[in-house]
Structure formats: C-alpha cells, structure tokens
Structure 1
Amino acid sequence: MRPLKIILLTSAFNGLTQRAWLELRQAGHSPSVVLFTNENSVCEQIENSGADLVICPFLKDRVPQALWSNPERPVVIIHPGIVGDRGASALDWAITQEMTRWGVTALQAVEEMDAGPVWASCEFNLPPGLRKSELYNGRVSDAAIICIREVLEKFVDGFTPVALDYRDAKVRGRLQPNMKQADRSFAWHDCARFIKRCIDAADGQPGVLASLAGGQFYVYDAHLDSRSGRPGEIIAVHDDAVLVATGDHSVWIGTLRRKPQPGEETFKQPARHLLIDQLADVPTLDWSIARQPFSAEAYQPIRYRESGKVGELTFEFYNGAMSTEQCQRLLEALRLAKSRDTQVLLIKGGRSSFSNGVHLNVIQAAQDPGAEAWANIQAIDDVCAELLSARQWVVSGVTGNAGAGGVMLALAADIVFARADIVLNPHYKSMGLYGSEYWTYSLPRAVGPAMAEQLTQACLPVSALQALQLGMVQEIGPRCPDEFALWLLQRANAVVHDPVYAAVRERKARVDHVLVGQCRERELAEMRDDLLHDRNQFAEKCRSFVYKRKVCGTPVRLVADWARSVEVVS
C-alpha cells in the first residue's frame, strides 16, 4: 500500500486517537492531528494541508460542509455503533438496553450526522457488566482500528462506500436520540444491578444525577455489594467509596460530581471527599491488606492473592489516578506483600487502565493545590521506592494505558509485561512538570540516557510494540484482559528460573541504592519549583485538565511536517 497523508480530525488526542496515530505510523503512513477548535479554523487547516484522507476517530462536533463536500478527499467518521446506528449516545444505549452484540462503523461524513455511506464495519460480542469507559478503551478501540485498516485498503483501491439502506435486513441499527438524564434515572429503591447498569452506561461522561446525603450529585464508579439497608441511605464507607443501600442489596459509589449551581463548574472527586461532612455517624469498614491479606470482599480497590511463588497485588483506581491517600494505602499493601514468603511480587492495574500518576482532581480540590501536589508526588515516590528495594523479583503487569508517573511506576519493577495494544505516555512536560517517580533512574536503565531524554521531551505516545523494541517492556501478552491476567500469572511464576532474565537477575543484585536516592533528591528539587513555585504553569494546566477546557489549537508536536500550514500551539 502506498503511504498516505492522513489528517486525524478529533475533539481530543484521547486514547483511541493516540492508538490510531501510532497504528498509522507503524503501517508506514504519515498521520497529522487537527484538534477541533472552531469551524473556520479547522476548514482552513485541512484545506491547506494537502491530506489524502481525513479520519475522525473521536469527534463530538459536526463536520463542516466545506470538508465533507469535497469528493477528492473523503472524511471518514469512526462511529461506535453497528451499521445503521446513529446518534451521540451509541454506547450509552447499547449498555442500557443490554445489547449482546455491538460494533463500530466507519462511514463517510455527509450533511446528516452518522447517515453517510459505509466504508467498513466490525462487530463484537458485548458481555454484561462492562462500564462505558472499559468498553470504549477495549472492544470499541480494537474494532475501530480494524475499521481504519480496512478504510485505508479500500481508499487505495478506489472503493466507493455503500449507501446506508434501512430496508436491508442486515442493517440492524437505528437512529437513537441523545440520551438525557431522564433516560438514565433510577431510584435507590430499584435493584442494585439495574442501578449499576445505569451508572455504567454514563461512565466517564455525563454520570447519572441522583439524590444522595441531602444533595444532588452525578454518580460514577459503581460496584455491587450484598449488604442491605434503607434504600438511598449511606450504610458504610471503605477507602474513598460510600456504600448506598438499594431496593435489594447495595452499591459502592467511588466517585461523585456535585451538581453545579448556575454559572458554576464542578468536577469529579472521590465520593468520601465530597460527602465528608455527612459521614460522621457512618461506619467505616476496613479490609485493607495489612489487616486482611486475603479478604473475600467483592469491592477491593487494592487486593492481594498468592499463586505458587508469586504474590499478586492488584490496584484498581478510577481512571488510573492515584491520590496521596491511595498511594499511602498501596504503600501499606506493598509492605505486607514484601513481607510474605514469596519469590515474585507481581503488581498490576485494573481492567481499564494501569496508572496515570498523581490525582489531578484531588490536587485541584485541595485548599492548597501546590501543597497537595507536593504530598502526592512524595507518596507515589514512596510506592516506587518500595518496588526498587524489594528482595523479591518485581514484575509489573501493565493491564491498560499508562501515562506520566504511571509509566515510571511500572518501570520501577525488574521486569515489565504489557497487554497488547496498550498506549504509554512516558512524559510530564506537557503538564508543566519535570517529573518524579525515580524516572531519571528507571527510564535510562530501560532505554538508555539519550532515548530517555528524547521520550520525555517529545511528549508523544508510545505503543506496546515500540516499548518492547525500546526496552521499556520485556514481553507483550494477550489483548483480552482475562487471557492477559492468566498469561501474566504464568509468566510471573516462570521468570525466576527463565534464563532469558539472567541479566536482570544480575542487575537486581548490583542496584546502586545511593544513586537511586540521589535521583529522587534531584527530581524533587526540580518538582519543588514546578509545584510550589509554579515555574512552568502547572497550576493552570492542572485547572484546564480538571475543568476540561477546550484547546485553542493543535500542539505542534502532533503536526506532521507535510501539514505545517496547520495552526498549532506550542
């Protein structure tokens, strides 16, 4: 296939867009990103770029007529729905209606949204119990990449997309209205599974508006529990989550966003943080690993088990963000795991993400954000220090996408195993930070000083395959989360005697702990200026991230040389 100049027109450089960008580059094409700012600017950028094709992997705005009406340069929308499905709430309806099969469709942009002729489609089974973000970052993302590959092949072959025909029995999708809060609503008297499904369908955005503890909140991050009480009453607290009684059992709610007053902006925070004044008489339940290493509780943000010679520590924090308190809980769990009679310590993330480092929302909500950020950085540093000093072999299982300190947390292990097709962002600079988590030790150890400098300065995503080639990752496992979990445990049990890792064994034996400590000191000296003196506008960048501010242009690092006429921002 001849190399193509491809514009990725997107509302944000999100996980799917990053994966598409990496996929296109790996296939020999030259992708360039245009972030949707305003119609005139977007049209001017793309018209002047000389692109062969425009692909929209994540676009919340309507494609301007000046773009979709050009027959020489198709604009292809990647829609997260089966053929015939239309509307902005495709995944929300699929989860709500308990569809057993769903898909992704690549269709040409026309005047009517999602009504254009079809370039490609890919269907998949939709198991129950998935939250929207897990579905989007997993099966939808996989299907979208398959569709993009097919679009490129067909474009080069001169394919004419097929008009959508609702008379065709194979076209099962239909126009769906944008889901409103009335469509998502539940009563706490409803059964717990129904409530969880409502919340799962609104995961990420917009959440489900509900009454709780005398206030109105958008709720997220639901987990089933068997306890019961008076429906709507908060009956327990564990870590950052509150347990709310339902009509039959109960659900843990991990994250809330207060309903804003007119003219006000609010953002997601851990549920306990927002409700702290209403929880004085609510019992706190503690099944931390330090108290109960092998708890049978259904809801465990941090959990531990042992298999053969491996101690497996799983941490699953919402959106991969790790607050000061979460890091402190993980630190306690690590110390318990290190005290056990095991040869391998396997740390792994949840099904949807691994880690994205410090918790920017908790930092923004603090009375003194700079001080909270400073505490958060030192707490996550402490976690990394425990990994670097473990007597056991430490294996990181990177279960999902990771960014900034989350990547460096994984690299603090002796061996890193990654799930196929994840995306890593091993940099801090775009957030106005020098970086910590011992990155000046762990990253050069993995890829060499020159490449470490390049990765942290370029601020670009890295695919699992690239990470393997660079030395950040030692092996890549299956894409399916369940298959990866089994594979990971098997590989962790085998590494101790695997001759492939003899060099790692020698490296572990001669760790220079003085150098490790010096790296931390130097990093914290730099971070002190970033966090406490705000030398690189971290405070404003944190606010923009938390409040989801729209970008004013496309960062220059995402613009290919051939598209340099595109309006960019530094």
Structure 2
Amino acid sequence: MTSALRVLLLCHSFNSLTQRLYVELRALGHTLSVELDIAERVTEDAIELFQPQLVIAPFLKRRIPESVWSRLPCLVVHPGPPGDRGPSALDWAVLDERADWGVTVLQANAEFDAGPIWDHDLVAMRPASKGSLYRREVAEAAVQAVLRAVARLAEGGAIAPVAAAATAQTWRPSMPQSARCISWQRDDTARVLAKLRSADGQPGVADNLFGHACHLSDGHAASAALLVTLPPGAPGELLARRDGALLRRTVDGAVWIGQARAASACGEGKPFKLPAALAFAAEAQRLPELPASLERPDDEWGELRYRESGPPGARLGCLSFDFHNGAMSTGQCEQLLAALREVKRRDTQVLMLLGGDDFFSNGIHLNCIEAAAYRTGDSAADESWRNINAMDDVALELIMTTDRLTVAVLRGNAGAGGAFLALAADEVWAHRGVVLNAHYKNMGNLYGSEYWTYLLPRRLGSDDARALMQRRLPLGATEAKRIGLIDRCVDAETGAKAADFESGAIANGLALALSHNLAQRIAAKHQARAADEACRPLAAYRQDELSRMHRNFYGFDPSYHVARYHFVHKLPQAWTPRHLAVHRERGTAA
C-alpha cells in the first residue's frame, strides 16, 4: 500500500534538478519542504521542525552531517554511475567524451559518494555542454531513479538499498584548470569544444582574450562553409563576432566562444559571466561582424533561426531563439522582435516559437543589466528599464499577431518574463519534463510586466492568477496543463527524446495548419482581440505594469537590485526563503 511521505529536500541551491524533483514528488502526494545547505546547525533545525521520514539531496557541495544521516535515510543524487566518486563527475565525463554515463542514488554515510546504492540509471551522452546534459539527460535519469527509490519506501518496503556500495570505486578529484587548459597551437576543434563544454556554467576555462585573463564557456563549432571564407591565420587568433560571441581559430577550424568572465568587463567589481563580445566590448568592436541569416544550414551557429514547411495555403513557420540560459538582453529582444516582424511577412498560417533547446526563455538578462552598473553614464536601473520595455515589445508583437495562429513550444524550462512571453501565443505546448516558474517575486519582489495582467487572468481567472503569482513555486508541465496555464503536455522524456518532442510538435503544427476550421479560428481570434482592446487597451495594461516596475528599478526599496547582485555574483544564501522552507513558516512540525 502506497503512503505519502514527509520529504525534506536538502540542497545547495534550488536548482533545475531540485525543482523538477519538487514538482514530481509533490504530484505524487508527498509532503515536501526545502532547506538550503547553509550550515549543519540549520540542517539539524530543519529536521527537528519538519520531522521528515526521508531526506533527498539532489544538489550538494559538501557532506550531510552525521547527526542527520545517522538518524534517518538520506538519499544523495550523484551524477555518475555506481562506483564513480568525486565532486566533478560530470565534468570529467564530458572532458573524456564518454559515450554513456550514469546517475546513482545512494545513501549518505561517512564517506563521500560511497554509501549503499538505492537506485541508478544509465545516461546516453551527446556532444553538448555539461549544463545541457545536466538539465536534460542527467535530470531525467535522476528523477526516474529517485522516484523508484521513494516508491519502494512509500509502498511500505524495507528501508534498505537495492545494492551495497559498488565494490570497484574510482575517486576523481575536483577538476583542476590544468585539465581543461586549451592549447590553441595543439588542440583541434573537437578537443577545444570538449574542454569548453566540461567547464560550462562554472567554473569556465581559464584563458585570455585580447591580452586579459578570463574564463571561457559556451563553445560552438564554426561551420565548414564559414571556414572556407576565412583568411589564413594562426591558431588562437580572434577573427570575428556574431550574436555576442567571438570566433577564434583552432588548428583545424574555429569555434564561437559565447561567454566570458573577466575582471575587465566590470571595472573594479567582482568578475561575472557575460556574452564574450560584451565582456570585451571595445576590443570586439574592432573585429568584423559576421551575422547569420535566419534561414541557414543546421551547422551554422547563431541565436536565431527560422524554418518553414508545408504546402501552399497550409504553411508552418518555426522561429527559434536559443539565448544562453534563456536570458534575453535588450539587444537580443530587439533582434527577436525584428526577426518576428520579418517572418510575419511570410505567407504562413501557423507560426511556432521554439525558444531554445534548454530553455524557452527566462526573461530579462540580469548579468547584462549588472554590467550597466559599471559603465560610465549608465546604470543598472536604466538598463533594467530598457530591457523590460524590449521584452514588452516582443510580447506585444506576438499578442497582435491576429492573421495566423501562434504556438509557443517549450522544449525547455521557462521562468519569470519568459513564462509570460510564452502565454502571449494562442497555444502553449510543453513536454512532461518542463518546469515553469510563472512569477517574478523571487527576484527582489518584482511586480513583472510582459502583459501578464492581461495574459494570465484570461487563462486562469483573476483569483487563480493572483494565487499563482503569490505562490512563487515551480510548476510542472502536467500540473500547468491541468489548471489551464498551458494547452498541451506531451508525455515525452527530456534528453534523448527531446528531438522526438520537437519533431512531434512540428508535425502537430503542420496538422494545425491543414485543419479544416483554421480560417474560422483565426477570424475568432481577431474578433476576440478587438473585443479585448475595446474593453481595456493593451497600452493600459502595459502602463500599469511598468509604473510598478519603475518603482522596483528606481524607487527607495533596493530589494530588486540586491537580489540581482546576489544572483549574478552567485553569493550563498543566508537563509532559506520561507515559501520553500514551509517547516519554518509553521514553526512546528506538522
């Protein structure tokens, strides 16, 4: 007989995997609370207050204290197969270009990653960054392994692992920069990409650009067609710029470097990650710009891409915008707006917005906003204002597309303004593994814009819309479909089957373009928009939202600016937010 458990999620941060586990376990009826791993005493307090039956640690950077793991079962999610041990497991797997890897759910004990095994799963690797693999293949395997382990416990089975600790164990230490160091005179493109991908997100590859020390990440191979157009040069030479990235020659080709973390990018402040061409703005301006056309071969890298298919009179257009980590700067919003206007001139009946491979969108670009604080004559408040207005312009363009049907296809997670940008489409489709954070308040109590006060109530009603915004918690695609926030949830796995979801969505989009009642649906959409405008103009929604955002950016309360600074510089949390640590909100065990 299955019973609900009291589960404490103990984590370094409430990251994507932790959020996915949160929504999956909650959907199964388990009672959940979250505690950030701030200090041993804080964790012990959480145990006393919540009285959990199980602790799950999806993302930790240190051991669980003995006072906790000796008292109740504590399951640690390790991104490696049984027997693999160490803090950089996935980094090493990517650097070694492993064809397959694994995830192990093990019980915490006195040794690091060496406890009894509760479950494990295989992970088929692909040539991608560590972050992308973690968010997709690794997360899916981890979720399935954790859910199986929890199910055995919930069904009244023995509180015991399925296997003893692996007998053959390999300890690999934290990966040093020497292991990732790029030799531009010796490493071929594949090796350069493996090193960049192994350091994706954090810590980056220690290197230099324009004579300045920095850390690099987000690498993409230059296409063969582009290579033949480049003049001869030496490996390591910087050649061009595109979409915020810098093109750098290798011994057998070239790579686009998308992100850099450099002290020179932010004056005397602490270095943080930025688009490489922005981190070295003055130097990058001396390089030629090589823009990519919207319609181009698959191997030609660029942030925006457009494809079209279907017979005349039933055409489907697909516009993707693969912005790094889903963040959309002012310039990226302006480019997306221009692309949207361009593709709307095409004779299509359905327009799909595909977002990016790993994220649909996460709204305004907080790192680029932080960079404005260090520019002479600029400010973070001014850049925030420009960025939110640019986001609003994109949302408005989509809302006002009344001559065809629009569909937002969430191949990855969406958060804050990015979630509401998706709602600007007529329909929203997602796969089961997608997590939405349809709220703003976690970023310093932001009010939010992107016409959410128009878009959300028309889907949920005023009361439920208000409740969702106040809830401040992640929402799985399955629940989002149940409450009417999105229109379709496809029961497809993330990772290896992500391409199947995309191809299936395109097939459904073509079917929509061929549907017998398409003209009537478009006419009804046009009439509904006109009626809504007569009731209350979109300009009024925007003015009201932005008046509140103006106070967030320029008012006396610095909460937004403090929260943004902490986010950009990845400062550790001093406490667990009360909407996550419900045991502290109650003050006593429930």
- TM bin, normalised by shorter chain, reads over 0.9
Offset of residue 493 of structure 1: 1.5
Q: Cα distance 1:504–1:36, how it changes in 2: closer, same or farther (>3 A)?
A: farther
2:329 to 309, 323, 342: 323
* Farther-moved stretch of structure 1 (557-566 vs 466-475): 557-566
Contact 1:133 1:352 in 2 (8 A): no
Q: Cα distance 1:494–1:4, how it changes in 2: closer, same or farther (>3 A)?
A: same
Q: Does residue 1:513 correspond to 2:526, yes or no?
A: no
Q: Cα distance 1:566–1:547, how it changes in 2: closer, same or farther (>3 A)?
A: farther
Take 1:311 and 1:146, find their aligned partners in 2: how far apart are those partners?
35
Structure 1 partner of 2:420: 408
Offset of residue 154 of structure 1: 2.8
Q: Does residue 1:278 correspond to 2:245, yes or no?
A: no
SS at match of 1:115: coil
SS at match of 1:364: helix
Offset of residue 534 of structure 1: 5.2
Take 2:526 and 2:338, find their aligned partners in 1: how far apart are those partners?
23
Offset of residue 294 of structure 1: 4.5
Structure 2 partner of 1:254: 258
Contact 1:404 1:426 in 2 (8 A): yes
Offset of residue 195 of structure 1: 0.4
Take 2:44 and 2:463, find their aligned partners in 1: how far apart are those partners?
39
Offset of residue 123 of structure 1: 0.9
Deviations 1:272-297 (A, max 9, x none): 111122134311112344xxx44676
Structure 1 partner of 2:31: 30
* Farther-moved stretch of structure 1 (532-541 vs 457-466): 532-541
Structure 1 partner of 2:170: 174
Deviations 1:325-345 (A, max 9, x none): 000000110000111111111
Take 2:252 and 2:140, find their aligned partners in 1: how far apart are those partners?
36
Take 1:360 and 1:253, find their aligned partners in 2: how far apart are those partners?
20
Structure 1 partner of 2:400: 389
Q: Cα distance 1:294–1:482, how it changes in 2: closer, same or farther (>3 A)?
A: same
Take 1:335 and 1:549, find their aligned partners in 2: how far apart are those partners?
39
* Aligned length in residues: 556
Q: Cα distance 1:426–1:165, how it changes in 2: closer, same or farther (>3 A)?
A: closer
Take 1:125 and 1:505, find their aligned partners in 2: how far apart are those partners?
46
The unaligned stretches of length 5 or more in structure 1 are: 168-172
Structure 1 partner of 2:499: 482
Take 1:176 and 1:500, find their aligned partners in 2: how far apart are those partners?
60
Offset of residue 517 of structure 1: 2.1
Take 1:508 and 1:86, find their aligned partners in 2: how far apart are those partners?
58
Take 1:66 and 1:96, find their aligned partners in 2: how far apart are those partners?
36
Offset of residue 485 of structure 1: 1.3
1:213 to 192, 210, 217: 210
Structure 2 partner of 1:287: 292
Offset of residue 427 of structure 1: 0.4
Contact 2:350 2:404 in 1 (8 A): yes
Structure 2 partner of 1:170: none
Offset of residue 456 of structure 1: 0.8
SS at match of 2:214: strand
Q: Cα distance 1:566–1:499, how it changes in 2: closer, same or farther (>3 A)?
A: farther
Take 1:313 and 1:397, find their aligned partners in 2: how far apart are those partners?
10
Deviations 1:186-210 (A, max 9, x none): 1112111110111111111111111
Take 2:521 and 2:468, find their aligned partners in 1: how far apart are those partners?
24
Take 1:145 and 1:534, find their aligned partners in 2: how far apart are those partners?
43
Take 1:28 and 1:186, find their aligned partners in 2: how far apart are those partners?
48
SS at match of 1:354: strand
Structure 1 partner of 2:305: 303
1:149 to 147, 152, 155: 147
Take 1:302 and 1:404, find their aligned partners in 2: how far apart are those partners?
21
Contact 1:217 1:257 in 2 (8 A): yes
Matched residues, percent identical? 39
Take 1:255 and 1:239, find their aligned partners in 2: how far apart are those partners?
11
Offset of residue 566 of structure 1: 7.6
Offset of residue 448 of structure 1: 1.4
Take 1:442 and 1:191, find their aligned partners in 2: how far apart are those partners?
49
SS at match of 1:555: coil
Contact 2:242 2:302 in 1 (8 A): no
* Farther-moved stretch of structure 1 (9-18 vs 277-286): 277-286
Structure 2 partner of 1:82: 81
Contact 2:6 2:31 in 1 (8 A): yes
Contact 1:374 1:532 in 2 (8 A): no
Structure 2 partner of 1:524: 546
Offset of residue 316 of structure 1: 0.2
* Farther-moved stretch of structure 1 (200-209 vs 558-567): 558-567
Q: Within 5 A, what are the aligned runs for 1:188-203?
A: 188-189=184-185, 190-203=187-200
Q: Cα distance 1:505–1:451, how it changes in 2: closer, same or farther (>3 A)?
A: farther
Offset of residue 547 of structure 1: 0.8
Take 1:335 and 1:109, find their aligned partners in 2: how far apart are those partners?
54
Q: Cα distance 1:287–1:563, how it changes in 2: closer, same or farther (>3 A)?
A: closer
1:349 to 340, 348, 355: 355
Quick one: which amino acid aligns to residue 287 of structure 2?
V
Q: Cα distance 1:202–1:359, how it changes in 2: closer, same or farther (>3 A)?
A: same
Offset of residue 142 of structure 1: 0.7
Q: Cα distance 1:566–1:236, how it changes in 2: closer, same or farther (>3 A)?
A: farther
Offset of residue 16 of structure 1: 0.8
SS at match of 1:435: coil
Quick one: which amino acid aligns to residue 406 of structure 1?
G
